[in-house]
Structure 1
Amino acid sequence: MTERTIVVVSAGLGRPSSTRMLADRLAGATVTELAARGITATVETVELRDVAHEIVNTMLTGFATGALAEVMEKVTRADGLVAVTPIFTTTYSGLFKSFVDVIDKDALVGMPVLLGATGGTARHSLALEYSVRPLLTYLRADVATTSVFAATADWAGETDTVNPLPNRIGRAGRELAEMVAARENAGPADLYGDVPSFDQMFRNL
């Protein structure tokens, strides 16, 4: 049975944090779906608040050290990434963006990524699509189609049969599991599609 690593990045500021809670649910759904495919997975969780000072230092010096260097190594070597941020003033948090800014520009190329966000009301839910998704797409990550936004009211009614949050978490976890499994089974050429030879390109001129 193959083992894979899912790294969870939570930009929540509080303890406890609804952002961390959503991140844990998304990771759990992914692990469950991977298990159904015969793939065992371990989850490694990163709380960005724990390395906030190191992130600022790295922005100033250009070099990651200590705990942040270890975090970046985990993220780079992950088989799949769950990234969740609170939404502040209609976009991702400054802590989340600062972390993305100090990651090497090629670190997430082809990385299967599942996005989540939390906020006070559902009116902030579109921030995932117009703000967070483009950020990860710019880094050439392979972002899952389904992203998950959880407003404060969603947690209060989590057991309500009309609340879409649990089903959306399940669907998102299934998508990330499928992406991780597909990446595992692909050969090096498959990850980048069919690359034409020089001879083929010249014939098409």
Structure 2
Amino acid sequence: MNITVRLAQQQEADELLGRSPLAALIGMLLDQQIPMEWAFSGPHTIAQRMRVDDLDAHDIAVHDPEAFVALLSAKPAVHRYPGSMAKRIQQLCQYLVDHYDGDPLALWRDVSTGRELLARLNALPGFGKQKSQIFLALLGKQYGVTPEGWREAAGPYGEAGSYRSVADITGPESLAKVRAYKQEAKRAAKQATSGPTTPGTTRS
């Protein structure tokens, strides 16, 4: 696999994401409660600190847990919550070892439908429905993984021409559009939760 992506907005980090499906999976796992480009630069930081050119699920799965937490926690930290994310990454890699002989490409190499691929992604540790749909959209839009019905399985994230998620980021301009969409969605959700206020009243 050798794909040109601009997810991390850093050349070396993006090059790793383009050639390593495991790096892409780990980046997606890290994409939670931190900026998207920070999350997707994480795999490259991990590879640097492990002193390897490419990430290997077997190596990460058997890495000493305390040492792996320290590796993610060293400044600059790979994530806002490096301890919990270190555990999740090792769980993800162990799952790949147990179910796919450590080869993340096997997740989608032989799938025939988008629904099947979504089910496989949803079974990964740390991947809920939304994260799985976003990663499925990323695979379809940027990695050339397009089983039958992949857009439908990815839900709104699979829509062509949308700017909803990391699946739609191809450079700084699209990153800004996706960030604006996320901020608006968050604002709308907050407004819906708080509900309307009547004149002359305040909410605590």
TM interval, short-chain normalised: 0.3 to 0.5
Q: TM-score if structure 2 supplies the norm length? A: 0.33
Higher helix share: 2
Higher relative contact order (CA 8 A, sep 6+): 1
Higher strand share: 1
Q: TM-score if structure 1 supplies the norm length? A: 0.33
